Amino acid sequence: MAVLGWQFAPARGLRRLSNWNAEELEAAAPESLAASPADLLRVAALHREGSLWLPSLAYPLVAILRRGEHPLTAEQHDELWQEFGLPVFQQIREPDGRLLAYDCEAADGFHIIEPALSLKGMTPLPGPCPCGDATARVRPAATGRARVATAIL
């Protein structure tokens, strides 16, 4: 996995590319990719224009959000799907990399990992997720889906 722009702790199979460029990413030959929404969209643009070739990508992409960042819009999510043919999941993380919340295959809100997490602008969702996970979930207050441009604070 290549992680762009984040300083996760070293781990087997994890390649951290803080100030990445197309050549460095291509040389890493990642099977999976995790980055901010902006970096994922930049990778897609470079790939689309032929400046970046990533034939080894085989696993879902992960959009890593900081508090205050906007989740991917439905259009951005579709753009990434069309470019790479891979699912895209989103996670909310602290700057130190600690996982706070994540979305799942059902894309019906964010599952809360950190019980004390305060997500302003988010609406709690009742009942278990359609994926079967009973973890508490929230979604951006202004939408019916998790993948829209509403800030997570």
Residue with the bigger pLDDT between 98 and 38: it is 38
Task: Note the pLDDT of residue 147.
Answer: 41
Cα–Cα separations (whole angstroms), residue 23 to 7, 37, 105, 135: 20, 20, 31, 40
Task: Note the pLDDT of residue 145.
Answer: 44
Work out the pLDDT band at 150, boundaries 50, 70, 90: very low
Instruction: Quote the mean pLDDT of the chain.
Output: 85
Dihedral over Cα of 31, 94, 105, 74: its sign: negative
Q: Which CATH architecture has domain 2-140?
A: 3-Layer(aba) Sandwich (3.40)
User: What is the rounded distance in angstroms from the CA atom of residue 153 to the CA atom of residue 133?
Assistant: 24
Long-range Cβ contacts of 112-116 (<8 Å, 24+ apart): 112/136, 112/137, 112/138
Helix (H) or strand (E) holding 133: none
For 58-84, what is the mean pLDDT? 91
